[in-house]
Structure formats: C-alpha cells, structure tokens
Amino acid sequence: MHTTRGAVLEALERDEFYLVYQPIVELATRRTVGLEALVRWLHPSDGELSPATFIEQFERNGAITDLGAWVTRRAMAEASEWHRAARAKDRELYLSVNVSGFELQQLTYSPALVSMCNDFEHRCQDLRVEIIESEFDLGGPDVRANLATLRKEEVRVVIDDFGTGASTVDRLLEISADAIKLDASLIADLEDNSERFASIAAVVAAGDLAGVEVVAEGIERESQHDLLLRAGCRFGQGYLFSRPVRAENVPTILDV
Ligand code: C2E
Ligand code: MG
Ligand code: MG
C-alpha cells in the first residue's frame, strides 16, 4: 500500500478511521483501571487495516501527526462519558494513547496535547502516552522538551513494548517514566521459562522501588495471569480479559 499525506487527510475527512479500546486491568481484581485507544482504518478497497500495516508509512509521509491528533481528540471525546461515570463512583480510569517517536520530535506536540485536554475537560493526570522503548531513546532536545512538558502537566509517560530491546533492571531505573508495559513476547513463554519468570519478578521489584508501575501485555491464559500475580505484577492487559472493543461496547466492560 502506498499512501500520501494528502490521501490520509482525505481519509480522515471521510471518517474512515475509528478507535477500539482495550481495558488495562488490576490483575488481582480484574477491574478495569484504564483504556488503551487503538486505531483501525476501514479502507474503502482494502477493508479493515490494522495499524501495523500503516503506521510506519504515515511516519514517513508525515501523516502520523494528523492521525495522532485525530486519535487523541476522538479518544477524549468518546471517553468523556466513561470518565464522568468512573469519577461519580470514585473509580480510577485513565485513557492511554500511543504516540510515535516522530510526533515527539515535533516541539508543538505536548502543548497541543495539553490544550486538547483543556478543550475536552480531560484531566492531564488521567491521560497516558505510550512510547515505544526505542523511540524514547531518540533523546533529541525536542523529545526532551516534550517529555518535560508532559511531566510538568502530569500527563503520564509509559514505555511501551518494554523488554524488546536490551532492557534490564538498570534500564528501568535509568529511564524516567511513570509506567512500563512488558512486551507480549515476554509473557508468551512465561509458563515454560523459569528465567523469564525470575526476570519479570526482578523488573517488578525494581519498578516498586523506583515508583514505576509495571503493566504486562498480551495475557491470553489463566496460567500467565497466575504467574504474573506471583511475580508481583499488579496490572495487565490481554485477550484473557477483553479484546479491544468499539466505543459503544466499552460500557459493558467497565462495570462502573
Ligand atoms: P501496542 O500499543 O503494543 O498495542 C498492543 C497490541 O496488541 C494491539 O494491536 C492489541 O490489539 C494487541 N493485543 C492486545 N491483547 C493481546 C493478546 O492477548 N494477544 C495478542 N496476540 N495481541 C494482543 P494493534 O491494535 O494491532 O496495534 C498494534 C500496534 O500499533 C500497537 O502496539 C501500537 O504500537 C500501534 N498503534 C495502535 N494504535 C496506534 C495509534 O493510534 N498511534 C500510533 N502511533 N500507534 C498505534
Ligand atoms: Mg500501546
Ligand atoms: Mg505494546
């Protein structure tokens, strides 16, 4: 597939993109504490496209900035009712959006994000931005400025797909993030790999010390859930709890 930024802008105009939401749960209670927004493209000729097929190309043609802003706005608009319901019951509920390293290199990214929060009356503390570990390392001055603004405004910073690079406990201690998401590949073979169990337990312990929350991704089986609880991991996400669902079905998984 080849797409230009102009074609993406037209697709946005035609409302071809939509969001699905996957709950992040507290493992011990299975209660939803957050929702991750994941984008889908209902392409007129190619059908439903997963982000894996187009995000990279949008990073190359610049359309990722347009898509990222659209995702955040749409997610905040759709989530406002869920947040009201959660607050009325004194329940925690955050919204998590994925951000590309390309967006973080734009100096305007964080100020625009904060002003979207204001527009939608979305509390900054209830917003998380997920950044893939390798992109967090881009580390240029603009990325640093954006991260500093996010931190000042109390938008939570999450390292996505943690553990796919050369990450260790040291790495967790040196990065300044509010949370990390353990990549699904680490969870996939948890049952047959005792070294894996030990290394996850070590990361969780380090996270506790450093005040970094640990979320396990890609949990599909009860046996993984049990092992993660034993490793001290408090939060998780995966098909075991729920597949990503469309906005109209979110209330059924929220129990607020
Ligand atoms: P991610 O942020 O790590 O999201 C997790 C992916 O794993 C999602 O795929 C989700 O549907 C899938 N998943 C969740 N639970 C399970 C499970 O138990 N088993 C398995 N096998 N998979 C599970 P999805 O929605 O296709 O998204 C793929 C990636 O595309 C995301 O990975 C994220 O990096 C990127 N992405 C998605 N939406 C956006 C967006 O709005 N902006 C940007 N920049 N990237 C996005
Ligand atoms: Mg993510
Ligand atoms: Mg991930």
Average model confidence (pLDDT) across the chain: 93
Measured in degrees and rounded to the nearest 5, phi and psi for residue 217 equal -105, 155
* Residue 249 in domain: no
- The response to whether residue 50 sits with its C-beta less than 6 Å from ligand 1 reads yes
CA–CA separation, 17 and 19 (whole Å)? 7
For 52, the domain range is 5-241
CA–CA separation, 146 and 226 (whole Å)? 38
Q: Please tell me the pTM assigned to this model.
A: 0.97
The whole-angstrom distance between residue 250's C-alpha and the CA centroid of its chain comes to 16
Task: Please name the residues in contact with 220: beta carbons below 8 A apart, sequence gap of 6 or more.
Answer: 238, 239, 240
Pocket probe for ligand 1: among 98, 100, 106, 127, the residue whose CB has the most ligand atoms within 8 Å is 98
pLDDT at 200 over 90: yes
* Residue 237 in domain: yes
* Residue 255 in domain: no
* Residue 252 in domain: no
* Residue 256 in domain: no
Q: Whose CA is nearest to atom 34 of ligand 1?
A: 98
DSSP label of 106: S
pLDDT in tens, 131-156: 987 776 666 788 889 999 999 999 99
- The response to whether residue 98 sits with its C-beta less than 6 Å from ligand 1 reads yes
Confidence at residue 18, expressed as pLDDT on a 0 to 100 scale: 98
- Here the CATH number for the domain that contains residue 98 is 3.20.20.450
CA–CA separation, 135 and 155 (whole Å)? 18
Give the DSSP H or E segment for 224.
helix 222-230
* Residue 246 in domain: no
* Residue 251 in domain: no
The domain tally of the chain equals: 1
